[in-house]
Amino acid sequence: MPCADVPDAFGSPLFHQGDPGYSRLLVDLNRSLEDPSAIPEVSDNVPVPGNQGLSREQKALRVRSFYTPYREAIDSMLYRHWER
At 38 the pLDDT is 96
Q: How far apart are the first and last CA of the chain?
A: 30
Q: Between β-strands 46-47 and 42-43, what pairing exists: parallel, antiparallel or unpaired? A: antiparallel
Cα(44)–Cα(56) distance, rounded to whole angstroms? 23
- Spans of the chain below 70 pLDDT: 1, 3-4, 17-20
At 79 the pLDDT is 87
pTM for the model stands at 0.76
SS3 state at 34: coil
CB 74 within 8 A of CB 15: yes
Ramachandran quadrant class, 35 (left: phi over 0; alpha: psi -120 to 50; beta: rest): beta
CB 38 within 8 A of CB 48: no
Dmax over Cα atoms in the chain, in whole Å? 47
